[in-house]
């Protein structure tokens, strides 16, 4: 059962329990683990899972693999036998506490945040499956908080113009936000310094905000923009400020793994937004793309509503858990044969996200950067 505050997801669905059992595994589940996700104990029992009371010391001590959404506490990790494998969204970046617990308890661990972004990994890509949900839900939050309709409406009293939405960042969450806002009838603009995403944006019916026309445009490497010049960034900020001054909604999705989120909307930009406009900041837990946003809070700033939208997948726990559990199955299925786990360290998927093996830290560059 997940113990993190506000966590409503579960790492296994009745469907994936069946499939793990078919692979020769014995699946043990704490009672009530899936209740907040809409999965009842009876469904797990019918799928073949053995149900135990939360914190059952024997079950924890016998486990070869622990599937989780967020990392258990160091105390809970200490209940596992040495050599057990922990798999989940472990928040590994500069996580000194996790580093110490893995060493002390002699555990192996796979952090899904570090899964390589290659085509073969798509079915196991938990970050993308959860970002899709966050992008979708962010638009629903914005539409509920906005003082206007999203779609254009022609009524006897007059024509209502569609809402104008600006999406910052065209990654997985951003593109899903675009698609959802378009389905609701909004006019959508997208800001991203990577010209390569323009085609994806326009295929969804949105309008791409072309980067400023300057000689020193940032180049691109591996799908990510290289460092831009100060002049380019200043021109882009002015361009974005002009767009936001006409916007009803801004959806902020820009995040950098292991680093503070880039600040994209400043106090001055907020001052130009109309009262009644809404900003939804998906990066608020990493410092925020928007000034003044706070995690899990809605701030009224001079009439502009700033929504700190962290942990949005937890607000759609049934489908979030359904997708997340399938991500775990897709990752582990190739490593299981007749119920035995065999981690192939030559496999780039395994090597990329295996941060610890039997208590030996393999990714100190992530867990404790600068320690070596």
Higher pLDDT, 235 or 292: 292
Instruction: State whether 141 and 211 are in the same domain.
Output: yes
189 and 331 fall within a common domain: no
Q: Is residue 372 part of a domain?
A: no
Instruction: Tell whether the model's pLDDT for residue 368 goes beyond 90.
Output: no
Residues 29 and 77 in one domain: yes
When pLDDT is cut at 50, 70 and 90, the band that residue 287 belongs to is very high
Cα(84)–Cα(106) distance, integer angstroms: 8
Reply yes or no on whether 35 is catalytic.
no
Q: Is 125 a catalytic residue?
A: yes
Predicted confidence band at 256 (pLDDT cuts at 50, 70, 90)? confident
Residue 361 backbone dihedrals phi, psi, to 5 degrees: -75, 120
Q: Is residue 366 part of a domain?
A: no
pLDDT at 223: 38
Q: Which helix (H) or strand (E) holds 52?
A: strand 50-52
Give the pair of three-digit tokens for residue 289.
Answer: 């793309």
Residues 254 and 268 in one domain: yes
Q: What integer best gives the mean pLDDT of the chain?
A: 93
Q: Write out pLDDT tens, residues 260-272.
A: 999 999 999 999 9
Q: Which residues form the domain of 304?
A: 133-315
Q: What pLDDT is attached to residue 366?
A: 93
Domain shared by 145 and 279, yes or no = yes
CA proximity to 268, closest of 297, 221, 295, 301: 301
- In contact, 353 and 111? CB cutoff 8 Å: yes
Q: How confident is the model at residue 94 (pLDDT cuts 50, 70, 90)?
A: very high
In a domain, 354, yes or no: yes
Dist CA 323 CA 343 (whole Å) = 23
Neighbour tally for 272: CB within 10 Å: 16
> Does a structural domain hold residue 1?
no
In the predicted model, is pLDDT for residue 224 greater than 60?
no
Q: How far, in Å, CA of 142 to CA of 159, rounded?
A: 22
d(CA 180, CA 311): 18
> Which pLDDT band holds residue 111 (cuts at 50, 70, 90)?
very high
Is residue 139 in some structural domain?
Answer: yes
- The SS3 of residue 142 is helix
Average pLDDT over residues 36-56: 98
119 is catalytic: no
Tokens of 105: 């308890």
Assigned domain for 345 exists: yes
Q: In this structure, are residues 85 and 110 in contact, taking their beta carbons and an 8 Å threshold? A: yes
Catalytic annotation, pick one of 13, 128, 243, 357: 128
Q: Is residue 186 part of a domain?
A: yes
Q: Report, as an integer, the average pLDDT of 6-10.
A: 97
Residue 8 lies in a domain: no
Structure tokens at 313: 């997948």
Please say if 344 is a catalytic residue: no
Q: What does the pLDDT average to over 20-46?
A: 98
303 is written with which tokens?
A: 């009439």
Kindly report, residue by residue over 311-338, the tens digit of the pLDDT.
999 999 999 999 999 999 999 999 999 9
Higher pLDDT, 212 or 45: 45
Which residue among the candidates 161, 224, 260, 274 is catalytic per the annotation?
Answer: 224
Same domain, 239 and 211: yes
Q: Is the pTM of this model over 0.85?
A: yes
Per-residue pLDDT averaged across 58-65, rounded? 97
Q: 352 with 322, same domain?
A: yes
- What pLDDT is attached to residue 258? 87
Distance CA 151, CA 284 (A): 28
Considering only residues 152 and 236, tell me which one the structure prediction assigns the higher pLDDT: 152
Find out whether 162 and 150 touch, Cβ atoms under 8 Å. yes
What pLDDT, on the 0 to 100 scale, is given for residue 214? 60
**DSSP H helical ranges for the chain:** 14-22, 41-47, 57-62, 74-77, 96-105, 126-145, 172-183, 198-203, 230-245, 267-272, 317-332, 348-353, 364-367
pLDDT at residue 215 in the model: 56
Q: Are residues 349 and 268 in the same domain?
A: no
> Pick from 292, 315, 338: which residue ends a domain?
315
The catalytic residue among 50, 58, 73, 122 is 122
* Active-site annotation holder among 104, 117, 120, 259: 117
On whether the CB atoms of residues 282 and 251 are closer than 8 A, the answer is yes
Give residue 220's pLDDT. 47
Q: Which two tokens stand for residue 93?
A: 């970046």
Q: How far apart are alpha carbons 212 and 227 in whole angstroms?
A: 15
Mean pLDDT of 223-240: 70
Among the residue ranges 4-8, 154-158, 168-172, 234-238, the one predicted with the least confidence is 234-238
Say how many domains are in the chain.
2
Per-residue model confidence (pLDDT) at position 228: 57
Q: 150 and 21 in one domain?
A: no
- The residue-averaged pLDDT of 186-208 equals 95
Question: Would you state the structure tokens that stand for residue 216, as one six-digit string?
Answer: 């020193």
Q: What is the CATH number of the domain that holds 81?
A: 3.40.50.720
pLDDT of residue 257: 87
The reply to whether 189 and 224 lie within a common domain is yes
Asked if residue 172 and residue 87 are part of one domain, the reply reads no
Query: Is residue 204 very low, low, confident or very high in pLDDT (cuts 50, 70, 90)?
Result: very high
In percent, how much of the chain has pLDDT > 90?
87
Are residue 35 and residue 62 in the same domain, yes or no?
yes
Say whether 122 is catalytic.
Answer: yes
Catalytic residue (choose from 13, 44, 70, 125): 125
* Rg, the chain, Cα only: 23
């Amino acid at each position: 059962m997940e113990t993190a505050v506000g966590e409503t997801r579960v790492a296994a669905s009745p469907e994936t329990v069946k499939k793990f059992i078919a692979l020769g595994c014995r699946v043990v589940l704490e009672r009530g683990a899936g209740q907040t996700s809409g999965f009842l104990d009876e469904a797990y029992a019918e799928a073949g899972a053995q149900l135990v009371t939360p914190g059952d010391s024997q079950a924890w001590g016998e486990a070869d693999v622990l599937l989780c959404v967020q990392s258990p506490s160091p105390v809970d990790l200490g209940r596992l036998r040495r050599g057990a494998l922990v798999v989940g969204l472990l928040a590994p970046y500069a996580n000194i506490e996790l580093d110490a617990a893995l060493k002390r308890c002699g555990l192996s661990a796979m952090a899904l945040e570090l899964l390589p972004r290659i085509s073969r990994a798509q079915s196991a890509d938990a970050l993308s499956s959860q970002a899709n949900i966050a992008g979708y839900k962010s638009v629903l939050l914005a539409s509920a908080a906005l003082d206007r309709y999203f779609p254009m409406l022609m009524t006897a009293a007059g024509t209502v113009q569609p809402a104008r939405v600006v999406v910052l960042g065209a990654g997985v969450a951003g593109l899903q936000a675009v698609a959802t806002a378009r389905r609701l009838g909004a006019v959508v603009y997208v800001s991203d310094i990577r010209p390569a995403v323009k085609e994806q944006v326009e295929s969804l019916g949105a309008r791409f905000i072309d980067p400023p026309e300057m000689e020193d445009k940032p180049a691109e490497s591996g799908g990510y923009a290289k460092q831009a010049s100060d002049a380019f960034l200043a021109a882009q900020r002015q361009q974005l400020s002009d767009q936001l001054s006409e916007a009803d909604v801004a959806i902020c999705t820009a995040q950098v793994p292991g680093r503070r989120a880039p600040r994209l909307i400043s106090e001055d930009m907020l001052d130009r937004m109309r009262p009644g406009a809404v900003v939804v900041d998906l990066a608020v837990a990493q410092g925020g793309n928007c000034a003044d946003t706070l995690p899990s809070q809605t701030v009224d700033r001079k009439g502009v509503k700033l929504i700190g939208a962290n942990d949005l997948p937890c607000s759609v726990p049934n489908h979030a858990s359904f997708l997340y559990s399938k991500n775990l199955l897709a990752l582990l299925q190739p490593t299981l044969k007749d119920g035995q786990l065999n981690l192939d360290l030559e496999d780039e998927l395994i090597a990329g996200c295996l941060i610890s093996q039997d208590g030996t830290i393999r990714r100190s560059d992530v867990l404790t950067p600068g320690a070596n």
